[in-house]
């Protein structure tokens, strides 16, 4: 039994992939990221009445003081729909049909009548305050070597606005990404190991790519992971962009849940919730820190802030317990305080003295809070209202430690760890999008049939038929640029061989990168321009690597067209002239070489025209000239 | 109840004793789903709509499906309508529209939330501004508004002032809000405080709704504004920064969907309101001051017609109108106030029969001037009265009101040409016209 089987690891994936449709999901704007300036908007969002439920007025006011949302309105890729100033247009049929196609590819069941829903999101990332989303298919499965993985749902939804900047009391977004269609594929919690999760994500990603209808590049695919172990709870980890990170994130989360369960046992052996609540104490320690050396404490106090001290019964040694590499239980509490009270973080007994807080101060705190054997303490510094808010946040999080793993949504960090983002929403905050009538999936079936991705085996066969060798065909099959290859082959395959195109996409680009070229400069348009020039006979295929290198070097300033001009092919007439000149210049040597004259001449000519003429043609012309 | 279900689905659900809100299970092609039965608005009568566990709705065709009732719905207590008609500082009169409504997450239905408690729960900031009382007058869609409802609203506004309220807010659908505003403006004389018409362009069931900000700033206006006028108060720009109080007889809905759809035409707004700061900035000094001699005279004659002229319109339409017993016609003419000269005879006939014929312009901006071209002079000779810069719809409402009080053509003409509440602006400055960006 593997380590993860013992832990009872269960993982489900939610894969979000942007679709490369001609226009957005609910309007006619192109699906482009763009920086053109079309003005600004300032908005507020408030929870709708029923969602508030029993929230009291004071809490509402707290919320109401909350964030201001600023929106940049890109001119090319947003309209009144993104500004929430116009109702949605009818839903993009291409996107829906792709959802149905993927459902069929999984052997699932398309929903007979598709309903668009509003999922309430009030972090500003949707100008409307909700994300529009629709389930198009249920059920089905994908095959994995360790067993089939079930597919729960296939949904089509709109992407959110792109965050640009976040300040104390505002968040700034660009509206360019808002409304780009996403397909969301959710698997059942059937995955049993970190490596399996990556395999399944790769497989589904490849199926999506094989439709030829998805976007590629950074940020176009995002994975959310639902992870639990026995005794733990299903924790949602959002926003994993790098597939290679998936196993590490799962390992870390499994470990975190395991550690939290161990911490719970230790805690319970010391005291119970009731005893904790009785001895838990909060005290204003501002005067104690009046002459503190810590700069942070000083600057907060000078601005009228306060220092609160918390006696935390039973937590000695546990606040500093490591849950994930570099992240302690104290870090978890800190994250809660940051997210829910808007403070920088906390200090705790397991890490002090440190951060400018001295041993003497720690001793005073211990005395002031009457800290005994297994007690720990926490210090919070900041503006009064925020610190007071933090105190209930801290108390709640400490109490949750007696229950084990809290139900929460976490955000993936780039090092494979994760941090608290928000509590998981209780009941689904969904209600119907009344501006869009339901859509019968029957009407999409014909379109969908054509979009079902071929199996990788089928695709490989068809790539081999285009004249690729097996190695390159496999590379292309797994390449994110598969769609670009097909586009270029369709358009230029008549005169440019499939191997030339594939080699450029797979090998030349790698070579250019290894030589220090900047691949960001080599857009699809650049690649297509080169292939088109080969097609028109203007440049030689052998000159492509050199052109790309010159174009993409960090200090390169020349335009693509001027580089291409330098490498443009020499016409036969010009070539003949060059050959004749060289013969004239070297008459004696040629005569002396006798039979070997051809080789000598070939070398001389190639020296002059390398990159601008093909050797084969040069040889033909030399023979022709020599006969004359 | 099986709301929206017909035919096959209705029969099946009925035979299983299933109602909307019950939990059912559907099994089809090897897939089993459980969820709450939702109302259906499908064109396909075999479709059953279910809300799944994850909150999504989905429609399943019953052909080839097995349906089972899992459990009956738990009855949710609907909070009753309760009105707080006790005196407050500001009265909120609800007439309909989506300015205040709430979503039932369970069924997705949107229903009006108009009691004082519900309004305060919706926008608690209001408590910091004024004590409010609420009256639910009716709940009708803006497009179904009629002059008889104007009368009820006018009476209700008067009652609120008689009870001692300092201002009145009228929640109203936006489509015909300006017609109601004009009707109230002509009917209520000597207003002790502002009558603020307010609506929303984004329904209040969404977090981005403009309704809370519009409502909050309307309460600020009703309580604190120095004028005794009927105003329309809506977003001043697309951002949630301020609202604008437009004079009720000089405002028009100029966009189908934007928050700042309402614009003053041939006039400047009376005030700006900053809801966050809870502040009013009065923009002009020539407003009608609060008065305490309120009189209500809401009488309207609906035998009027708004005639939009276009090339090719035939004069016999006017004969038809005369024959139908119409007492007044407002023409929305071209440019400075014209119709084709083919109409000279019919207009002469109409005015001879005592029918008022008034001219406004479909340009909306600017005033009519029927002396510049020969046609205008001929139309005037036929009895057509130029109505200056009065907006066509405002002229129509004013005519209804004038005919409700006077029968004699000269008397009606006298009313129509008198500026009663700021509807007739004789001075237009250069800045009273919007300029669009051309680059």
Three-state secondary structure call for residue A344:
coil
| Pick from A46, A64, A113: CB nearest B47 | A113
Which one of A36, A115, A133 makes the best mutation probe of the B interface by having the most chain B beta carbons within 10 Å?
Answer: A115
Arithmetic mean of pLDDT, B186-193: 97
- Specify the CATH architecture of the domain B304-416: 3-Layer(aba) Sandwich (3.40)
Kindly determine whether residue B118 and residue A49, on different chains, have CB atoms separated by under 8 Å.
Answer: yes
Kindly determine whether residue B208 and residue A43, on different chains, have CB atoms separated by under 8 Å.
Answer: yes
Kindly determine whether residue B212 and residue A120, on different chains, have CB atoms separated by under 8 Å.
Answer: no
CA distance B243 to chain A (A): 13
pLDDT of residue A60: 47
CATH number, domain A273-401, options 1.10.10.10, 3.30.1360.30, 3.40.50.300, 3.40.50.620: 3.30.1360.30
Q: How far apart are CA B224 and CA B214, in angstroms?
A: 15
Which one of B36, B58, B76, B201 makes the best mutation probe of the A interface by having the most chain A beta carbons within 10 Å?
Answer: B58
Task: Report CA dihedral (A332, A334, A335, A340) to the nearest 10 degrees.
Answer: 130
Q: Band of the pLDDT at B112, cuts 50, 70, 90?
A: low
CA distance B209 to chain A (A): 8
Residue A127 in contact with partner chain B when CB distance is under 8 A: yes
Kindly determine whether residue B124 and residue A47, on different chains, have CB atoms separated by under 8 Å.
Answer: no
Mean of the per-residue pLDDT values of chain A: 90
| Pick from B47, B213, B241: CB nearest A112 | B47
pLDDT of residue A389: 85
Kindly state the tokens that stand for B158.
Answer: 């008067």
pLDDT of residue B427: 94
| Pick from B47, B113, B238: CB nearest A49 | B113
Which residue is closest to B102 within chain A, CA to CA? A49
Residue A242 in contact with partner chain B when CB distance is under 8 A: no
pLDDT of residue B116: 72
Q: What is the CATH topology of the domain spanning B7-71?
A: SH3 type barrels. (2.30.30)
| Pick from B55, B102, B113: CB nearest A430 | B55
Residue A355 in contact with partner chain B when CB distance is under 8 A: no
Kindly state the tokens that stand for A220.
Answer: 């176009």
Q: What are the residue ranges of CATH 3.30.1360.30 in chain A?
A: 273-401
| Pick from A50, A128, A135: CB nearest B206 | A128
Vertex A433: Cα angle to B80 and A97 (nearest 5): 155
Kindly determine whether residue B102 and residue A50, on different chains, have CB atoms separated by under 8 Å.
Answer: yes
Q: How far apart are CA B190 and CA B292, in angstroms?
A: 6
Which residue is closest to A42 within chain B, CA to CA? B239
CA distance A73 to chain B (A): 12
Kindly state the tokens that stand for B136.
Answer: 């639910």
Is the Cβ–Cβ distance between B132 and A456 less than 8 Å?
no
Residue A44 in contact with partner chain B when CB distance is under 8 A: yes
| Pick from B42, B205, B257: CB nearest A48 | B205
Residue A54 in contact with partner chain B when CB distance is under 8 A: no
| Pick from B207, B238, B257: CB nearest A47 | B207
| Pick from A41, A49, A129: CB nearest B239 | A41
Which residue is closest to B28 within chain A, CA to CA? A109
pLDDT of residue A50: 45
- Whether pLDDT at B139 is above 50: yes
Residue A431 in contact with partner chain B when CB distance is under 8 A: yes
pLDDT of residue B80: 47
Q: What are the residue ranges of CATH 1.10.10 in chain A?
A: 572-627
Region of B391 on the Ramachandran plot (φ > 0 left; ψ -120 to 50 alpha; else beta): beta
Name residue A119's beta-bridge partners.
A131, A430
Three-state secondary structure call for residue B371:
coil
Nearest to A286 by CA among A364, A341, A206: A364
pLDDT of residue A432: 85
Arithmetic mean of pLDDT, A10-36: 95
| Pick from A61, A80, A117: CB nearest B257 | A80
Q: How far apart are CA B201 and CA B259, in angstroms?
A: 5
Arithmetic mean of pLDDT, A381-404: 92
Q: Band of the pLDDT at A61, cuts 50, 70, 90?
A: very low
- Residues whose CB falls within 8 Å of the CB of residue A564, separated by 6 or more in sequence, listed in order: A529, A530, A533, A538, A539, A547
Q: Band of the pLDDT at A64, cuts 50, 70, 90?
A: low
- Whether pLDDT at A591 is above 90: no
DSSP track, A149-196: EEEEEEEEEEPPPEEEEE-SSEEEEESSSTT-EEEEEEE-S-B-SHHH
Q: Band of the pLDDT at A2, cuts 50, 70, 90?
A: confident
- Whether pLDDT at B118 is above 80: no
pLDDT of residue A572: 80
Kindly determine whether residue B124 and residue A153, on different chains, have CB atoms separated by under 8 Å.
Answer: no
pLDDT of residue A263: 96
pLDDT of residue A226: 96
Q: How far apart are CA A530 and CA A538, in angstroms?
A: 9
Kindly state the tokens that stand for A469.
Answer: 């060798």
Kindly determine whether residue B54 and residue A57, on different chains, have CB atoms separated by under 8 Å.
Answer: no
Residue B58 in contact with partner chain A when CB distance is under 8 A: yes
Domains B78-296 and B304-416 share a fold: yes
Q: pLDDT for B351-365, tens place per residue? A: 999 999 999 999 999
Residue B1 in contact with partner chain A when CB distance is under 8 A: no
CATH number, domain A572-627, options 1.10.3470, 1.10.490, 1.10.10, 1.10.1660: 1.10.10
Tokens 């330098």 belong to A566
The pLDDT > 70 percentage for chain A reads 96
Residue A53, CA atoms < 13 Å, CB-side half-sphere: 6
pLDDT of residue A428: 52
Residue A130 in contact with partner chain B when CB distance is under 8 A: yes
pLDDT of residue A462: 93
Kindly determine whether residue B257 and residue A438, on different chains, have CB atoms separated by under 8 Å.
Answer: no
CA distance B56 to chain A (A): 6
Arithmetic mean of pLDDT, A315-334: 95
Q: pLDDT for A425-479, tens place per residue? A: 655 577 888 889 999 999 999 999 999 999 989 999 999 999 999 999 999 998 8
Arithmetic mean of pLDDT, B372-384: 97
Burial of A156 (0-12, 13-18, 19+ CB in 10 A): buried
CA distance B43 to chain A (A): 9
Report chain B residues whose CB lies below 8 A from the CB of A112.
Answer: 44, 47, 58-61
Interface of A with B in 78-107 (CB under 8 A): 80, 83-87
Q: State how far the alpha carbon of B418 is from the alpha carbons of A358, B76, B351, B390, B414, in Å.
A: 83, 56, 19, 11, 6
Residue A34 in contact with partner chain B when CB distance is under 8 A: no
- Residue ranges with strand state E in A306-399: 306-312, 322-324, 327-328, 347-348, 376-382
Arithmetic mean of pLDDT, B153-175: 96
Residue A60 in contact with partner chain B when CB distance is under 8 A: yes
Residue B311 in contact with partner chain A when CB distance is under 8 A: no
Q: Band of the pLDDT at A557, cuts 50, 70, 90?
A: confident
Nearest to A260 by CA among A232, A301, A234: A232
Which one of B239, B241, B276, B278 makes the best mutation probe of the A interface by having the most chain A beta carbons within 10 Å?
Answer: B239
Report chain A residues whose CB lies below 8 A from the CB of B29.
Answer: 109
CATH class of B78-296: alpha beta
Domain chopping of chain B, boundaries: 7-71, 78-296, 304-416
Active site residues of B: 98, 174-175, 253
Q: pLDDT for B82-99, tens place per residue? A: 555 567 899 999 888 777
Q: Is the peptide bond before A353 cis (omega within 30 degrees of 0)?
A: yes
Question: How many residue pairs from chains A and B have C-beta atoms closer than 8 A?
Answer: 141
pLDDT of residue A63: 59
pLDDT of residue B110: 58
Q: pLDDT for A506-555, tens place per residue? A: 999 999 999 999 988 999 999 999 999 999 888 888 889 999 999 999 88
Q: How far apart are CA B428 and CA B250, in angstroms?
A: 13
Report chain A residues whose CB lies below 8 A from the CB of B125.
Answer: 61, 64
Q: β-strand A235-240 against A281-284: which pairing, if any? A: unpaired
Arithmetic mean of pLDDT, A38-51: 78
A552-589 residues labelled b (16+ CB within 10 A) or e (exposed) = bbeeeeeebeebbeebebbeeeebbebbeebbeebeee
pLDDT of residue A349: 94
Residue B178 in contact with partner chain A when CB distance is under 8 A: no
- Whether pLDDT at A55 is above 70: no
Q: How far apart are CA B1 and CA B154, in angstroms?
A: 38
Q: Band of the pLDDT at B138, cuts 50, 70, 90?
A: confident
B335-363 residues labelled b (16+ CB within 10 A) or e (exposed) = ebbbbbeebbebbbbbbeeebbbbbbbee
pLDDT of residue A57: 43
Residue A438 in contact with partner chain B when CB distance is under 8 A: yes
Is the Cβ–Cβ distance between A398 and A267 less than 8 Å?
no
pLDDT of residue B88: 82
User: In terms of pLDDT, which residue wins out, A305 or B205?
Assistant: A305
Q: pLDDT for A219-253, tens place per residue? A: 899 999 999 999 999 999 998 988 899 999 999 99
Tokens 């789903």 belong to B33
């Amino acid at each position: 039994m593997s380590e993860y089987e013992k832990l009872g690891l269960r993982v489900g994936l939610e894969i979000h992939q942007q679709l490369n449709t001609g226009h957005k999901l609910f309007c006619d704007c192109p699906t482009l990221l763009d920086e053109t300036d079309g003005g600004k908007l300032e908005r507020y969002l408030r929870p709708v009445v029923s969602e508030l439920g029993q929230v009291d007025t004071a809490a509402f006011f707290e919320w109401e003081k909350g964030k201001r949302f600023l929106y940049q309105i890109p001119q090319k890729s947003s309209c009144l729909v993104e500004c929430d100033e116009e109702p949605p247009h009818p839903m993009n049929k291409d996107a829906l049909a792709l959802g149905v196609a993927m459902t069929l590819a999984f052997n699932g069941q398309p929903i007979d009548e598709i309903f668009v829903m509003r999922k309430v999101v009030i972090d500003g990332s949707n100008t409307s305050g909700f994300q529009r989303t629709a389930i198009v298919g249920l059920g089905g499965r994908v095959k994995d070597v360790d067993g089939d993985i079930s597919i729960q749902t296939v949904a089509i939804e709109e992407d959110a606005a792109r965050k640009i900047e976040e300040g104390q009391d505002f968040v700034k977004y660009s509206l360019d990404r808002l409304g780009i269609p996403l397909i969301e594929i959710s698997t059942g919690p059937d995955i049993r190991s970190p490596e399996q999760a990556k395999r399944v994500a790769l497989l589904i990603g490849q199926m999506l790519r094989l439709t030829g209808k998805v976007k590629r590049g950074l940020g176009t695919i995002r994975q959310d992971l639902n992870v639990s172990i026995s005794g733990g709870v299903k924790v949602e980890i959002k926003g994993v962009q790098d597939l290679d990170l998936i196993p590490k994130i799962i390992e870390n989360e499994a470990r975190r849940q395991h550690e939290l369960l161990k911490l719970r046992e230790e805690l319970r052996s010391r005291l119970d919730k009731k005893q904790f609540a009785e001895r838990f104490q909060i005290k204003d320690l501002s005067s104690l820190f009046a002459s503190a050396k810590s700069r942070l404490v000083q600057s907060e106090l000078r601005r009228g802030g306060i220092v609160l001290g918390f006696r935390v019964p039973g937590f000695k040694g546990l606040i500093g317990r490591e849950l994930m590499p570099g992240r302690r239980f104290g870090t978890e509490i800190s994250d809660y305080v940051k997210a829910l009270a808007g403070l920088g973080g906390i200090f705790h007994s397991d890490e002090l003295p440190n951060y400018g807080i001295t041993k003497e101060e720690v001793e005073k705190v211990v005395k002031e809070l009457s800290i005994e054997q297994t007690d720990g303490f926490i210090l919070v510094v900041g503006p009064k209202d925020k610190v007071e808010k933090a105190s209930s946040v801290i108390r709640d999080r400490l109490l949750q430690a007696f229950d084990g793993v809290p139900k929460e949504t976490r955000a993936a960090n780039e090092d494979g760890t994760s941090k608290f983002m928000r509590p998981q929403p209780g009941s689904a905050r969904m209600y119907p999008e009344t501006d869009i009538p339901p859509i019968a999936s029957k009407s999409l079936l014909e379109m969908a049939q054509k979009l079902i991705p071929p199996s990788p085996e089928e695709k490989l066969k068809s790539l081999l038929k285009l004249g690729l060798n097996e190695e390159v065909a496999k590379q292309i099959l797994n390449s994110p640029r598969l769609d670009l290859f097909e586009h270029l082959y369709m358009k230029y395959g008549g005169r440019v061989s499939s191997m030339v195109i594939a080699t450029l996409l797979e090998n030349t680009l790698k070579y250019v990168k290894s030589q220090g070229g900047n691949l960001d400069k080599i857009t699809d348009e650049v690649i297509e321009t080169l292939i088109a020039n080969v097609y028109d006979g203007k440049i030689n295929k052998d000159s492509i690597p050199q052109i790309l290198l010159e174009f993409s070097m960090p200090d390169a300033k020349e335009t693509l067209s001027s580089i291409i001009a330098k490498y443009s092919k020499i016409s036969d007439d010009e070539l003949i002239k060059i050959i004749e000149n060289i013969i004239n210049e070297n008459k004696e040597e040629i005569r002396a070489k006798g039979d070997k004259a051809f080789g000598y001449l070939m070398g001389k000519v190639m020296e002059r025209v390398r990159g601008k003429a093909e050797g084969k043609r040069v040889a033909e012309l030399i023979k022709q000239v020599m006969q004359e | 109840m099986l709301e929206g279900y017909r035919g096959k689905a209705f029969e099946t659900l009925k035979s299983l004793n299933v109602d909307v809100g019950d939990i059912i299970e559907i099994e089809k092609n090897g897939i089993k789903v459980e969820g709450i039965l939702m109302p259906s608005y499908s064109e396909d009568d075999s479709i059953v709509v279910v809300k799944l566990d994850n909150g999504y709705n989905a429609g399943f065709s019953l052909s080839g499906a097995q349906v089972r009732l899992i459990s009956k719905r738990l009855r949710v207590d609907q909070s009753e309508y309760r009105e707080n008609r006790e005196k407050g500082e500001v009265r909120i009169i609800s007439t309909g529209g989506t300015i205040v409504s709430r979503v039932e997450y369970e069924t997705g239905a949107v229903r009006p939330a108009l009691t004082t408690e519900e309004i305060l729960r919706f926008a608690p900031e209001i408590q910091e501004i004024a004590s409010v009382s609420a009256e639910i007058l009716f709940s009708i869609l803006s497009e179904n508004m009629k002059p008889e409802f104007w009368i009820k609203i006018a009476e209700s506004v008067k009652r609120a002032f008689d009870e001692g309220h300092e201002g009145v807010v009228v929640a109203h659908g936006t489509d015909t809000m300006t017609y109601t505003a004009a009707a109230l403006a002509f009917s209520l004389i000597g207003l002790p405080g502002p009558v603020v018409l307010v609506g929303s362009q984004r329904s209040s069931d969404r977090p981005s709704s403009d309704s809370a900000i519009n409502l909050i700033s309307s309460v600020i206006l009703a309580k604190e504004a120095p004028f005794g006028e009927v105003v329309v108060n809506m977003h001043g720009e697309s951002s949630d920064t301020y609202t604008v109080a437009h004079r009720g007889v000089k405002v028009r809905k100029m966009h189908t969907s934007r928050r700042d759809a309402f614009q003053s035409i041939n006039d400047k707004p009376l005030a700006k309101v900053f809801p966050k700061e809870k502040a009013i900035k009065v923009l002009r000094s020539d407003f009608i001051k609060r008065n305490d001699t309120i009189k209500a005279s809401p009488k309207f004659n609906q035998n009027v017609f708004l005639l939009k002229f276009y090339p090719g319109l035939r004069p016999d339409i006017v004969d038809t109108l005369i024959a139908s017993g119409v007492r007044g016609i407002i023409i929305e003419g071209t440019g400075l106030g014209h119709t084709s000269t083919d109409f000279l005879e019919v207009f002469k006939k109409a005015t001879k029969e005592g029918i008022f014929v008034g001219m406004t312009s479909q340009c909306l901006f600017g005033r009519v001037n029927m002396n510049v071209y020969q046609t205008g002079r001929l139309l005037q000779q036929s009895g057509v009265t130029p109505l200056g810069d009065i907006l066509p719809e405002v002229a129509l409402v004013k005519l209804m009101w004038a005919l409700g009080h006077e029968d004699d053509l000269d008397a009606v003409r006298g009313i129509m040409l008198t500026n009663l509440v700021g509807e007739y602006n004789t001075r237009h400055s250069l800045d009273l016209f919007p300029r669009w960006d051309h680059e």
